Amino acid sequence: MKLNVDALRYLSKDDFRVLTAVEMGMRNHEIVPSELVDRIASLKHGGTYKVLKNLLKHKLLHHDSSKYDGFRLTYLGYDFLAIKTLVNRGVFMSVGRQIGVGKESDIFEVATEDGTVLAMKLHRLGRVSFRAVKSKRDYLRHRSSFNWLYLSRLAAVKEFAFMKALEEHGFPVPNAVDCNRHCVIMSLVQGYPLVQVKQLQNPEMVFERIIGLVIRLAEHGLIHCDFNEFNIMIDDDEKVTMIDFPQMVSVDHRNAQMYFDRDVECVFKFFLKRFNMSFQEIPDDIDDAEVDMDESGRPCFSSIAKGSGFLDKDLAASGFTRKDQEDIEKFIEGGVEKDADSGDEENEDGGLASELNESDISGVESLHLVEQPTLNCDVEGIEENEQKTEAGLTNGPETQDASDEEEDNETMISKDAELTKRLRNQKRRVIASVRGGRKNLASRNTYKDKGGRSSHNSKIQKQLSSW
């Protein structure tokens, strides 16, 4: 989308208030309902809808009524919010011409109050030329849903952080000035993209500097991942400057070697085609970095040793996070012992649980086993006593013992019957309490007279009462 800032000077505070309300609503809405916009903006006398019409006229918002009546920010509206914030901060005062267009960004000239010219980079992820952001970049991390404006903001914040850290470590990068939303303000590099350069006085020296930058980045734990002639600036004195950093990853990334070899291969191919260079006389120590070379003269990624500055850890680059590093350090220090201790504790807990379960189960089984043999023994004793009495073999005390046993059996049986009754009553009470103490209601048609026997008896009773 073409950036036209002419309308910016005519927007009022209410316009920016409504734009900010739509931006806040887009945190959890793809299309922000108009009622929510009005509630967040809270303008007096229903002025929100009048402002929305003005913003739609300038194409700062997009109206969508497919599912419900709502609005969403366009990239132009997001640009106005970022530019307005940076102007209020005093970072720059005017916007100039466009100086660059990329697959995911636009670059403009801006001027400060004292006339210093800076570069303003507006990230515009979601273009037709580059929509595979979710698979190519890790801006989302664990998130499943995304918004192009939010992804552009993440890319801008990431690039500003990398640019600031590389500048502090002495890398030839633009000076990072400020960042807001998807907008990054940096110093303007006085030079040309390497792809536009046709001749060099010392191509071998420039080539060594560029390859040295790739190796030096790897020594600091980073890989550019897009290091080609389009992202390398060179001035009249053949001074090299790197640009474009949102896609940088750590050397501990699972595809780090592939990215490193791709960056090196891009540089080799360009210098071979453009300047017809031969790479057989390249020294092994490029820019004071001792790196092993393969048969074709390209640096080996496995031979690069990390230096003292771990920028990938400080910046949480892709493939290397602080949380993962802390987990690894804990595991190396004593994680194995802790796991073993925790395993013993788990075994102890599991043993206690198994013992409790076995005791419970044995107790339940013992109850059944105690009841059954006593009943069997009692029945056998009764049968034996009956046989003895029939045969006349029983004596006085034995008959008394048998009668006592019979009485005991009868009392036990009666107690069992009482126990079953109590259990049934308790069961009914529990069911009633679960149901909330509600009784079964009769059907709604019981009051109707259907001409049955009950209705006939009620008629007879009414006649008798009248008599």
| Residues whose CB falls within 8 Å of the CB of residue 79, separated by 6 or more in sequence, listed in order | 3, 122, 183
Query: Tokens representing 138?
Result: 């890790």
The label of the residue with tokens 């009784």 reads 439
The Cα 195–Cα 5 span in angstroms is 30
Whether the CB-CB separation of 227 and 263 falls below 8 Å is answered with: yes
| Helix, strand, coil % in the chain, rounded to nearest 5 | 55, 15, 35
Which of helix, strand or coil describes residue 100?
strand
* Residue 417 burial (C-beta neighbours within 10 Å; 0-12, 13-18, 19+): exposed
Report helix angle 34-41 to 48-57, nearest 10. 110
SS3 category, 341:
helix
Instruction: Read off the amino acid at residue 302.
Output: S
Max CA pair span of the chain? 137
Q: How far apart are CA 276 and CA 90, in angstroms?
A: 48
Collapse the DSSP code of 9 into the 3-class scheme (helix H, G, I; strand E, B; otherwise coil) and give the result. helix
Angle in degrees, CA 18, 21, 24, rounded to 5: 155
Token code pair at residue 289: 């970095």
Spot the catalytic one: 14, 64, 226, 261.
226
Listed residue (108, 154, 113) closest to 134, CA to CA: 154
* SS3 state at 178: strand
Q: Is 312 a catalytic residue?
A: no
Q: Residues 176, 186: contact at Cβ < 8 Å?
A: yes
Question: What phi-psi label fits residue 380: left (phi over 0), alpha (psi between -120 and 50 degrees) or beta?
Answer: alpha
Name residue, tokens 């990215």. Answer: 259
DSSP 331: I
Q: Are 37 and 18 in contact (CB under 8 A)?
A: yes
Strands 240-242 and 249-250: what pairing? Answer: unpaired
Residues annotated as part of the active site? 226
